């Protein structure tokens, strides 16, 4: 437990978190440009362009490859983890968002005159493939830039 402070010396972890935070910040800027308004709630919500999850896991995988080696089991684990996260973002969570949209429509149509106390389901859960690819590229670029800085 005494070495817990060393976590801040882990450059791979820091770079991955920076890539994730950068992606979340870019979502705010992109929202301002495309929607003409800025909602700071965007900084903590899932979905949107670029995928912060993808940026995080690809920066992590690239960082592991750069520090441990591209042929190591650690890099293989990081890549497979990244693939699963990105697949989940476009597959499972995207499908759940579509289902939520349909359920919200059903509730709106069938219960429009009745008092319905339940919250609406969150519809923006997953990412489009373009959002995932953008996050992936962002994570790789951040990791490569950071590797040159170290």
pTM: 0.78
Per-residue model confidence (pLDDT) at position 98: 73
The whole-angstrom separation of Cα 90 and Cα 50 is 12
- List pLDDT tens digits, range 48-101: 889 999 999 999 999 999 999 999 999 999 999 999 999 988 877 666 767 777
In this predicted structure, the answer to whether residue 121 has a pLDDT above a threshold of 60 is no
Domain ranges of the chain: 4-91+126-149
Residue 134 binned pLDDT confidence (cut-offs 50, 70, 90): very high
Which residues fall within 8 angstroms of residue 101, CB to CB, at 6 or more apart?
A: 123
Query: For the ranges 14-28, 81-95, 117-131, which has the lowest average pLDDT?
Result: 117-131
């Amino acid at each position: 437990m005494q070495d817990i402070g060393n976590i801040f010396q882990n450059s791979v972890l820091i770079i991955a978190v920076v890539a994730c935070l950068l992606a979340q910040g870019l979502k705010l800027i992109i929202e301002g440009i495309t929607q003409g308004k800025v909602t700071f709630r965007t900084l903590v919500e899932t979905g949107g362009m670029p995928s912060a999850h993808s940026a995080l896991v690809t920066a992590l995988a690239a960082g592991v490859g750069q520090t441990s080696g591209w042929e190591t089991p650690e890099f293989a684990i990081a890549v497979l983890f990244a693939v699963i996260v990105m697949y989940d973002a476009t597959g499972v969570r995207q499908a759940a968002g579509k289902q939520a949209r349909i359920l919200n429509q059903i509730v709106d149509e069938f219960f429009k005159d009745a008092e319905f106390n339940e919250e609406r389901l969150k519809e923006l859960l997953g990412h489009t493939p373009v959002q995932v690819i953008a996050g992936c590229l962002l994570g790789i670029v951040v990791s490569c830039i950071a590797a040159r800085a170290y």
